Amino acid sequence: QWLGMAGKRGALIVLEGVDRAGKTTQCSKLVQALQQSGRPAEMMRFPDRTTTIGQLIGAYLENKSDLEDHTVHLLFSANRWEMVPLMKKKLEQGITLVVDRYAFSGVAFTSAKPGFRLDWCMQPDVGLPKPDLVMFLQLNPAEAALRGQFGQERYETSVFQRTVQQRFEQLMKDQTVNWQVIDAAQNIENVHRDITAHSLNAINKAQNLPLGEL
Ligand code: DGP
Ligand code: NA
Ligand code: NA
């Protein structure tokens, strides 16, 4: 395996949070900052709506199609699994991946629906590459409301998002995952500063550790 110039793997860094917490903005700012400091970095996002599976998910989210709830859960997971070979290749090449949502969104969003057990929701993602760092962009519902109306996509209602927030809080109790809570109510630059500090720390540590599995 070719491990980049210095033989060091990249870090797998994930940003999670409820909708409108600023994940996408912060992912691109982080990638830019890492690249400018000479650290190879690329952004990924889930769901990746460009693949065949991703197009099914996209139509579902845009309310252009209806899918049974278990079925769509498995499609979201499959959409992560189909990217694993590419993710591993990039990490081995020394590229740090900054990922906008991952398996934790998968579990939080599906388990927010009635009748879904957390352990059932987690099972399809068991074995995925384990992030070296998962940052949760924390934003309470009142602060989120100040950011304007929700969009028109499925899941974009305040009642559902509050349940999602509670599911994330349950998931964050898992001590085997390197969770860091970020105060997303701060201004963009301060959020970016916090995220960059945690990321540099994780990148340094990841260099000496094998990639784990969920
Ligand atoms: P985004 O492109 O980041 O706005 O995400 C699309 C929506 O899909 C968002 O409401 C979160 C939700 N979502 C993301 N990943 C999953 C998943 O694995 N399962 C489910 N059920 N929903 C997800
Ligand atoms: Na969204
Ligand atoms: Na986003």
Q: What is the pLDDT of residues 62-117, one digit of tens each?
A: 999 999 999 999 999 999 999 999 999 999 999 999 999 999 999 999 999 999 99
Beta strand spans in the chain (E): 12-17, 41-45, 96-100, 129-130, 133-138, 179-183, 212-213
Residue nearest to atom 7 of ligand 1 (CA): 61
Provide the percentage of residues in the chain whose pLDDT is more than 70: 97
Q: Separation of 22 CA from ligand 2 center, angstroms?
A: 11
> Is 91 a pocket residue for ligand 1 (Cβ < 6 Å)?
no
Residues near 171 by beta carbon (within 8 Å), at least 6 away in sequence: 104, 107, 108, 177
Determine the pLDDT at residue 5.
52
d(CA 193, CA 182): 10
Q: Are residues 100 and 27 in contact, defined by beta-carbon separation less than 8 angstroms?
A: yes
Q: Separation of 24 CA from ligand 3 center, angstroms?
A: 4
d(CA 210, CA 97): 15
Please tell me the pTM assigned to this model. 0.95
CB-count exposure of residue 7 (10 Å: 0-12, 13-18, 19+):
exposed
The ligand minimizing its distance to the Cα of 109 is: 1
Residues with CB under 5 A from ligand 3 (ion): 23-24
Mutating to test ligand 1, I would choose from 27, 61, 100 the residue with most ligand atoms within 8 A of its C-beta, which is 61
Determine the pLDDT at residue 148.
81
The ligand minimizing its distance to the Cα of 151 is: 2
Looking at ligand 1, which atom is closest to the CA of residue 113?
21
With a cut of 80, say whether residue 163 has pLDDT above it.
yes
> Is 61 a pocket residue for ligand 1 (Cβ < 6 Å)?
yes
Determine the pLDDT at residue 158.
86
With a cut of 60, say whether residue 153 has pLDDT above it.
yes
Determine the pLDDT at residue 6.
58
ipTM confidence score: 0.93
With a cut of 70, say whether residue 3 has pLDDT above it.
no
**Size (the chain), residues:** 214
Q: How many CB atoms lie within 10 A of CB 177?
A: 17
